[in-house]
Amino acid sequence: MVLFTVYLTKNGYGDMVVMNGWLIMTKKLKKYGILIITSFISILILLRIANASLITKSQPIAKDGVLDLTNWDFTQDGTVQLNGEWEFYWEQLLTFEDFKGNDTKINFNGYQYVPKTWNNYTINGAHPTGTGYATYRLKVKNDNWNNTFGFKILTMSTSYIIMIDDKVIATNGKVGDMLKNTESEYNTQSVSIIPTSKEFDIIVQVSNFTYARGGIWRPIVFGLDSDIRKLAIKTSRNEMFLMGIIFIMMCYHLILYCVRKEDKSLLYAVIGLFVTILRILVTGDYYITTLIPSMSYSTIILLEYCTLYWGLITWVLFIAKLFPFEFNKNILKIFIFIAILFTVATFILPISIYTNYLIYIEIYDIILFIYALLSVILASENEKDDAQLILYCSILLFSAYIIDISIFLNFIPNTTGGVFITVVAVAVLIQAYIISRRYSRAMEQSKMNEVAMLQAQISPHFLHNAMNALAELSYEGGDAAYDAITSFSEYLRYSYDLLPQSKMISLHKELELVEAYLNVEKLRFGDKLQYHIRVENSKTIYLPPFIIQPLVENAVRHGVSKKKGGGVIKISGKQEDKLYKIMIEDSGVGISKDVIENIAIGEKTNAMGHGLCNVNKRLMNKYNTRLNITINEHKGTTVSFFLRGKI
């Protein structure tokens, strides 16, 4: 404020506005600086993970149908992807014998890049359709074949036969030249070979009459058989591990939802996690075929696309429940309606049609991502709890989604699968932390509400009687009226000072409230109410607020005040070994055994039972101890308890 005053006096209003804007910008930079840096580092890590299977050494690329590996040391340099220019023969299913015989009927359609869908090739000035069949051929050269080698083969669209020279090493589905003699299938596999010469041909027949895009769309990995096996095991282990984490988190959220069904965010979390598990099963290594061997190829594709529609929207709906005022309900309904349209189309249209609109699905997801990001940024600007953590998760998920699209389009080379599911697992753990923290805050708020409830129990009758006593003393004037007003004021001050406290207070502080209360009550009862307070170490002993005061109030209202001639209240506290004992004694009329029994089982039968039951419950929650009540009917009551733990 001093800074602004100086600028306003010296330079005028305009400079103050500039300075104000600069300070606001600085504040925002500080607020988002850590988030930006953390997100940037995380994205770099994601890119590194996406490239985890690559070797730092530049990998050889096939040129004019030949891949020269003579300078590649598989022991030192690891695996290699068979990427580059392959010979391509459209609408021809050729074998080694066809090439060996130099058949003039072979129609060579140029060198085409692998991995890539053949829809993007140019043949005779036009692009082939997604449906059709073709043969790929690559000659591999290497000087050292003294080891067993292997291939890691990812999916192709949608059936294939792979041959090394004249020997078939892998098949998937059934390759044919028309729909009726073709069978589509999705499988990843690893195969071993022992090369017999320094050069060999890899011949791949591919046919597709089902999907919108055809061809070798994922890289084929080649290397030592031991490295290929390790790569397959690593991929499988990672997917199973992630699926296990997500399944546990799904069960965790499901249990929470069963306890709190009014919290719909938990339901969306459960649905989203289930969709994520399903997506792992129908992508990657296609574990769904192991669990359900009879599941058809068309069903796998249907589930794969449905998880693409609903995986993201459930995440956004979860966030919208956390920040309802930052998300527009009508816009969310539009996104849900579009997802429903996609789903219906997937169920009623042939695979070759609905898979042709993948680009529109990706645009839909990107727009939904951007909308969610903007809404969470707004929540962060409004300083909503956990908004920055959710924003960080959203940035990571968006980045991972873009990286996975780049991998699918082969802009980023990768053989171990995408990073999106990994990021989902991380986001789920952060989400579980956020929910746990919210429940913790809710518990803290519950404790504060409990304190507020106890404070609200200041009896209207007590206030009414106290005010009447003050009115009577005001006529008399003098020191008595002054002392009475002071005592009543102190009681109210101590009482409301404790209201916002949710943690522990000193015994000394609690006794100040108790003594102020007793002084006010003496306005009514005079010498009929006597009290003695004798405690040890009151400034070093801590306890929850409003523990002793309700017990003393109970002793006054239901003990001493109902006894002819009044009585005495004694409050004592002393150390007993590792425990601290607090005792409230009164010489009033005593209480019945029924009340004590009701307190023991948590029932609140009347005003007296209500106060004692509240204190008893709080002691159980905090110290796992109960009130010890001793009665001598018509002779008084003794209530005591122990403080456990750190005192």
Q: How far apart are CA 492 and CA 369, in angstroms?
A: 53
Q: SS3 helix, strand, coil % of the chain, rounded to 5?
A: 55, 15, 30
Q: Note whether 79 and 45 are same-domain residues.
A: no
188 lies in some domain? yes
580: helix, coil or strand? strand
pLDDT of residue 240: 86
In the predicted structure, residue 5 carries a pLDDT above the cut 60: no
- The whole-number average pLDDT for the span 407-430 is 70
Average pLDDT along the chain = 81
Residues contacting residue 370 through CB under 8 Å, at least 6 positions apart: 398
Structural domain contains residue 450: no
Residue 63's SS3 state is strand
pLDDT of residue 643: 85
Contacts of 540 (CB under 8 A, 6+ apart): 506
Q: Are residues 353 and 402 part of one domain?
A: yes
Task: Identify whether residues 406 and 488 lie together within a single domain.
Answer: no
My answer on whether 530 and 635 are in the same domain is yes
Q: What is the mean pLDDT of residues 288-312?
A: 89
pLDDT for 529-547, tens place per residue?
Answer: 899 999 988 888 888 888 8
- Distance between CA atoms of residues 62 and 116, nearest Å: 14
Please check whether residue 567 lies inside any domain of the structure.
yes
pLDDT(623) > 50: yes
pLDDT above 50 for 6: no
Is the pLDDT at 346 greater than 80? The verdict is yes
The larger pLDDT score, comparing residue 452 to residue 567, is at 567
- Which tens digits make up the pLDDT trace of 71-116? 898 888 889 999 999 999 999 999 998 888 766 678 999 999 999 9
Q: What DSSP designation does 559 have?
A: I
**Nearest residue to 168 (alpha-carbon basis) of 137, 204, 217:** 204
Domain end marker among 207, 229, 251? 229
CA 476 – CA 523 distance, rounded (Å): 13
464 shares a domain with 424: no
Question: Could you tell me if residue 246 is inside a domain?
Answer: no
Contact in structure between 321 and 267 (CB atoms under 8 Å): no
Left if phi > 0, otherwise alpha if psi is -120 to 50, otherwise beta: which for 218? Answer: beta
Residues facing residue 347 across a β-bridge:
none
Number of folded domains that form the chain: 4
More confident residue, 335 or 634: 335
Indicate whether 466 belongs to any domain.
yes
- Is pLDDT above 90 for 222? yes
Cα–Cα distance between 67 and 143 in angstroms, integer?
13
- Rounded-to-integer distance, Cα 267 and Cα 263, Å: 7
Give me the residue label for tokens 């005192």: 647
| CATH at 171 | 2.60.120.260
Which of 229, 251, 276 finishes a domain? 229
The whole-number average pLDDT for the span 151-176 is: 93
Q: Best-predicted range by mean pLDDT among 24-28, 332-336, 398-402, 519-523?
A: 332-336
Q: Is residue 610 part of a domain?
A: yes
- Three-state secondary structure readout of 476-539: HCHHHHHHHHHHHHHHHHHHHHCCCCCCCEEHHHHHHHHHHHHHHHHHHHHHHEEEEEEECCCC
- Sort strands 132-141 and 66-68 into parallel, antiparallel or unpaired: parallel
Mutual angle of helices 607-623 and 548-555, in 10-degree steps: 150
Residue 270 and residue 375 share a domain: yes
Helix axis angle, 387-408 to 358-381, nearest 10°: 160
Specify the pLDDT at position 472: 64
Nearest to 139 by CA among 172, 156, 163, 117: 163
Confidence grade of residue 4 (pLDDT, cut at 50, 70, 90): very low
Q: Which of 215-224, 441-450, 620-629 has the highest mean pLDDT?
A: 215-224
**Is 0.75 topped by the overall pTM?**
no
* Structure-block tokens of residue 295: 């599941």
Both tokens of 19, joined, read 């300075």
The 10 Å Cβ neighbour count of residue 630 is 13
Percent of the chain residues topping a pLDDT of 70? 77
Q: Are residues 220 and 284 in the same domain?
A: no
User: Could you identify the residue written with the tokens 């029924």?
Assistant: 594
- Answer yes or no: do 424 and 470 share one domain: no
Specify which residues 346 forms β-bridges with: none
* Angle at the Cα of 261 from the Cα atoms of 255 and 262, rounded to 5 degrees: 140
Q: Which of 202, 186, 164, 183 is nearest to 66 (CA)?
A: 202
As a whole number of angstroms, the distance between CA 446 and CA 547 comes to 16
Are residues 596 and 529 part of one domain? yes
Query: What is residue 639's DSSP assignment?
Result: E
Which tokens belong to 252?
């965790």
Question: Which tops the pLDDT comparison, 45 or 86?
Answer: 86
Query: In the listed set 444, 479, 498, which residue is the last one of a domain according to the structure?
Result: 444
Q: List the one residue out of 462, 448, 643 whose CA is nearest residue 550.
A: 462
Residue 499 lies in a domain: yes
Same domain, 281 and 428: yes
Instruction: Determine which of 138-152, 191-205, 333-347, 595-609 has the lowest per-residue pLDDT on average.
Output: 595-609
Q: What is the pLDDT of residue 473?
A: 63
Task: Tell me, yes or no, whether 449 lies in a domain.
Answer: no
pLDDT tens digits for 236-278?
A: 888 888 888 889 888 888 988 888 888 888 899 899 889 989 9
* Overall average pLDDT of the 454-479 stretch: 61
| Cβ neighbourhood burial of 372 (10 Å; 0-12, 13-18, 19+) | buried
Kindly state whether residues 89 and 172 are assigned to the same domain: yes
Alpha-carbon distance of 107 to 103, in angstroms, equals 9
Tokens of 499: 């209201």
Q: Domain of 165? A: 66-229
Query: Encoding tokens for residue 586?
Result: 């009164």
The residues facing 11 across adjacent strands are none
Q: Do 621 and 534 share a structural domain?
A: yes
Helix (H, G, I), strand (E, B) or coil at 630: strand
Instruction: Give the integer Cα–Cα distance in Å for 163 and 99.
Output: 13
pLDDT band at 13 (very low <50, low <70, confident <90, very high): very low
